[in-house]
Copies of this chain bind each other. A is one copy, B any other.
Amino acid sequence: MSGKPLQSITGRTNEHIKNAVRLRENAAQRRERSCLFLEGARLVADAAASSIAIRELFITESAMAKYAELLHKAVNSAETVFVIAEHVADALSDTKSTQGVFGICIQRLVKPLDWCANAGYLALENVRDPGNTGTLLRTAEAFGLRGVIHSGCGDVYSPKVLRAGMGAQFRLPIWHTDNLPSLLREAAENGVSTFAAVQDTDAEDVSGAFSGSAMVAIGNEGSGLTAQTIAACQKRVTIPMAGRAESLNAAAAGAIFCRELVRQPGN
């Protein structure tokens, strides 16, 4: 598959494996070392395609054959490639049936948050389900939003969020804040209209609500946005529904907000 010398790992107690498991399990480790743990052929290939530096690539012999084409760039660009035994792959895996492809990559540097003209931003507050967070990042990227801010959503680089994000984390600007209300006020001072997504029938209809630069804040699946965040936004916005309003999930609502953000007249 490549001219690179391959190293073999046959035991789960190998230091590289133990290190990879630590990165998989532990958000503090990921932050401290600016590294991410990736699982899955598609995700590893996506990282390579996005010019993310892959430090270590772990792959079973069968996966090497099966995903040869998809992983061509990843194998060639990885600093070290380890061929691992099937039972080692099971130890590395976070899923029930693994593809046998894993990577440790360097976390890319994201430019500081800036306020662009005619740009859409999403702000996520206390979104708890990793699938929802990942899908929202994926959707924000699909619609070409400027970026996503998150607060209280856990680590957006965890294996589960990476899986649901389908590699959006490699390409989309993502910023973290501990103080979302303050960031929303700063956005407003810089010409970005700020909106709190709510389920109140007296809030503004999302259709045509946005013009110029705008940011929509989406809250927790069960309890919505905090009162402080709603108060920090200039306006409240809602998706009018004929049926049961409580039935729309965060990722579904987010898709509609993302689309309206980029469909705005000024964009």
Contacts and interface: CB of A to CB of B under 8 A. Distances in A.
Interface of A: 131, 135, 138-139, 141-145, 166, 168, 171, 207, 239, 241-245, 247-249, 251-256, 259, 262-263
Given A144-B243, A242-B144, A139 B252 contact: yes
A77 to B, nearest CB: 21
A262 B247 contact: no
A255 B248 contact: yes
A142 B254 contact: no
Nearest to A165: B247
Given A144-B241, A241-B142, A241-B143, A252 B249 contact: no
Nearest to A259: B256
29 contacts: A135-B249, A135-B251, A138-B248, A138-B249, A139-B247, A139-B249, A141-B243, A141-B244, A141-B247, A142-B241, A142-B243, A142-B247, A143-B248, A144-B242, A144-B243, A145-B243, A166-B249, A239-B259, A241-B262, A249-B251, A251-B251, A251-B252, A252-B252, A252-B254, A252-B255, A255-B255, A255-B256, A256-B256, A256-B259
A225 to B, nearest CB: 19
Contacts of A255: 248, 251-253, 255-256
A138 B132 CA distance: 15
A259 B171 CA distance: 28
A143 B262 contact: no
Nearest to A131: B131
Most chain B beta-carbon contacts within 10 A, residue among A141, A243, A249, A263: A243
A175 to B, nearest CB: 18
Given A166-B249, A171-B244, 7 more contacts: A135-B252, A138-B252, A141-B243, A141-B247, A142-B247, A143-B248, A252-B255
A144 B142 CA distance: 26
B135 A263 contact: no
Contact of A244 (B142, B243, B263): B142
3 shortest A-B CB distances, which residue pairs?
A144-B242, A252-B255, A144-B243
Most chain B beta-carbon contacts within 10 A, residue among A142, A241, A262: A142
A54 to B, nearest CB: 21
Contacts of A171: 244
A227 to B, nearest CB: 24
Contacts of A135: 249, 251-252
